[in-house]
Amino acid sequence: MASSEALSRLHNLASETEHLAVHMGQADDALLIGLSVDHKKFKKAATKIRHQIDGKRHLSRVESTRATIIAEKTIRKMSTLKKNLSLIFQGPTASALDNARNRTRMKQTTLRCARIRSLRPDSVISWAAALPITDWKSDGMSNEVFDFLTSRIEAAGEVQPWPPVVREILRIFQLEVMPHSEEYNKFIDSTWPGLGEE
């Protein structure tokens, strides 16, 4: 079904639902129970649509940032890239003072960091350059949106080669911030073999 047709059907359905709501005062119990079941289905479908809209918005930002870096041969938001690389490859910092809720969030963020590390190097760089941490850590993005985004980033396929500035930044980051990170060294070796020895 084409997107325009689906949107038109959703608008018609919303209008019909509003019209039915006016006449619900005369409904019997069986009808109300049936409507309750349908309400749950509508709510589930609307939530799924909302997750896809949010996921596509984030994906658009990732693709736009990647295209800008390639075209301009520079990274505009260096602090976003550095903070993301640190979190993705080192994980969140735990404290004995963290309450149960914070520990749960940190565990979820740790799992997300591992998932991002498992993406293609191109996707990791794109993610780290484009999305502020507050957008994707466990309390900033639903699991459904996160899963949608990680699958779509991987499905995008390879892009043009990164400009030399990206390679240089990743090398400096390796030397200055994470010289002993096994995960980061594996990432660098899979992106540009031999870069760490330069």
Q: What is the pLDDT of residues 38-50, one digit of tens each?
A: 667 778 888 888 9
Domain span at residue 61?
51-160
Asked if residue 121 belongs to a domain, the reply is yes
Asked if residue 37 belongs to a domain, the reply is no
Asked if residue 39 belongs to a domain, the reply is no
pLDDT tens digits for range 89-130:
999 987 888 888 888 889 999 999 999 999 999 899 999 999
Per-residue pLDDT band at 198 (split at 50, 70, 90): very low
Token representation of residue 31: 């009808």
Query: Structurally, how many domains does the chain consist of?
Result: 1
Q: Which long-range contacts (CB under 8 A, 24 or more apart) does 3-7 make?
A: none
**Model confidence at 78: pLDDT above 70:** yes
Asked if residue 182 belongs to a domain, the reply is no
Asked if residue 89 belongs to a domain, the reply is yes
139 vs 74: CA distance, rounded Å:
30
Q: Answer whether 188's CB lies under 8 Å from 174's CB.
A: yes
**Model confidence at 159: pLDDT above 90:** no
Residue 196: alpha-carbon gap to chain centroid: 28
Asked if residue 194 belongs to a domain, the reply is no
Asked if residue 141 belongs to a domain, the reply is yes
Predicted model pTM:
0.78
Half-sphere exposure of 108 (CA within 13 A, CB side): 16
**Model confidence at 168: pLDDT above 80:** yes
Asked if residue 107 belongs to a domain, the reply is yes
